[in-house]
Amino acid sequence: MTEMTERQQYDLKRQIEELKSCRGKHTELISLYVPPNKQISDVTSYLKNEFSQSQNIKSKTTRKNVLSAIESILSRIKMYRQPPENGIVFFVGHKSIGSDQTEMVAFVVEPPMPISIFLYRCDSEFFVEPLQEMLVEKEIYGLLLIDRRECTVGILRGNRVDLLKYMTSQVPGKHGKGGQSQRRFERLTEIAAHEWFVKCGEKASEIFLNDESIKGIFVGGPGPTKHYFIDENYLHYEIQDKIVEIFDTGYTDEYGLRELVSAASETMLTLKISQQKNIMKRFLKEVTKAEGSLAVYGESHVRRALTMGGLDTLLLSDGLRKYRITLTCPACHYEEHHTLDEETLSASESGICPHCATPTKMEITEKIDLIDELSDLADQTGCVVKLISQNSEEGDALFSAFGGIAGIARYPLGI
């Protein structure tokens, strides 16, 4: 199971936003999902069939638009001998640009996670649900239920619970059958229990150590046994460190896994937010330091710190909607870089080259999402990038008080 990086999630989210903003005047926007195992030749013949079907569309404009969209996909898909690793999605059609005008758009998306369906849809909007599905949190947690009778090991991926191991013990109950002396019976019982815990600890550790993507582990079971099992360190120390919380459950079997997940659901929800909150708290503490502060904020300061290689963590608000553009002079190739948001971008009028003063205006030669551009800079210097959502007080502060761009330096930079 592959997991998306924060960056891939962000890029996909923006891609979906762009797709969703497209509207067709009629049902003339085509979405085509091709899973990795699909033969390109099958897709081609499917499209050719759709092409002849679409000849029957009554409205002349719609027919023309649909046919040209299918043709466009056909010519694009020819470039592939087989679908890419995770499959490929085509979004093609004439989007409405107001006052009865349309404009042909074509997006080819190679998603960060595999596509599982083959799907062709012609509608007045692009069909993005399968891509949105990929953004649903698929965090992975380990589940462990234990008492003296049973032990169940499971994994939670998103909403899916998988039972991986169910074991039962030979540990006798608390009370002897008579015949043996009570002390001897208790001693044998404790030895058997110890062996049972060792076995469970080894098995659970083996399973959990095998999956590095496990974010945390929840432990459950009735009574005090689970606490004893944890306190006596029957689990591998790395697994022990991943324990998030221990809950009381009535059962220690498959049903108990469900109980455990429902008990842990609130904790899981706050966990992700709290990681972001903690890093923001670290930053805000640096901001208030009078001397030797590691806080850096504002785009130009953060940019300088990144270029110096002095930034340890880059904090970016996921509400940031800005672009880094490059203006180039067509005559002397002099370049300028600017940061603009959606509004200033559409209103911006590029000027005349200050270098050679050719009357021809400078042209936009590159436009990148600011988050992508800064993340690239960070990657080059081993700086960690954290995308901070706005749905916490701290996340909101990053956006409103610090312009959505901040960082924690490796050492005091004095900038």
Window 57-76: residues binding Zn ion (CB under 5 A): none
| Binding of residue 269 to Zn ion (CB under 5 A) | no
We find the least distance from the C-beta atom of residue 307 to Zn ion, in angstroms, to be: 25
**Closest to 323 measured CA to CA, from 12, 13, 108, 14:** 14
We find the least distance from the C-beta atom of residue 211 to Zn ion, in angstroms, to be: 56
Give the CA angle between residues 293, 297, 289 to the nearest 5°.
20
The amino acid present at 329, given as its one-letter code, is C
Which of 224, 330 has the CB closer to Zn ion?
330
| Binding of residue 362 to Zn ion (CB under 5 A) | no
| Binding of residue 22 to Zn ion (CB under 5 A) | no
Which of 241, 363 has the CB closer to Zn ion?
363
**CB under 5 A: which stretch of 117-125, 175-183, 353-361, 398-406 binds Zn ion?**
353-361
We find the least distance from the C-beta atom of residue 365 to Zn ion, in angstroms, to be: 13
Which of 117, 356 has the CB closer to Zn ion?
356
**DSSP 8-state assignment for residue 55:** G
**CB under 5 A: which stretch of 39-47, 224-232, 327-335, 384-392 binds Zn ion?**
327-335
Rounded to whole angstroms, what are the CA distances from 85 to 2, 9, 90, 110?
12, 18, 15, 8
Q: Which two tokens stand for residue 24?
A: 């067709």
Q: Which residues contact 402 (CB under 8 A, 6 or more apart)?
A: 297, 298
Which of 272, 361 has the CB closer to Zn ion?
361
Which of 228, 334 has the CB closer to Zn ion?
334
Which of 198, 332 has the CB closer to Zn ion?
332
| Binding of residue 356 to Zn ion (CB under 5 A) | yes
| Binding of residue 329 to Zn ion (CB under 5 A) | yes
Tell me the C-alpha distance between 208 and 198, whole Å: 15
Q: Which two tokens stand for residue 136?
A: 């649903």
- Please list, residue by residue across 246-285, b when 16 or more beta carbons sit within 10 angstroms of its beta carbon and e when fewer do: bbebebbbeebbebbbebbeeebeebeeeebbebbeebbe
| Binding of residue 331 to Zn ion (CB under 5 A) | yes
**CB under 5 A: which stretch of 30-38, 116-124, 210-218, 352-360 binds Zn ion?**
352-360
The amino acid present at 187, given as its one-letter code, is R
Tell me the C-alpha distance between 33 and 130, whole Å: 9
Give the CA angle between residues 314, 315, 317 to the nearest 5°.
145
Binding mask 96-135 for Zn ion (x = CB under 5 A): ----------------------------------------
- H or E element, residue 405: strand 405-409
We find the least distance from the C-beta atom of residue 131 to Zn ion, in angstroms, to be: 42
| Binding of residue 228 to Zn ion (CB under 5 A) | no
Q: Residue for token digits 């690793």?
A: 85
Tell me the C-alpha distance between 174 and 191, whole Å: 13
Window 243-262: residues binding Zn ion (CB under 5 A): none
| Binding of residue 332 to Zn ion (CB under 5 A) | yes
Longest dimension (CA), the chain: 108
In the complex, the residues that contact Zn ion under the rule CB under 5 A are 329, 331-332, 334, 353, 355-356
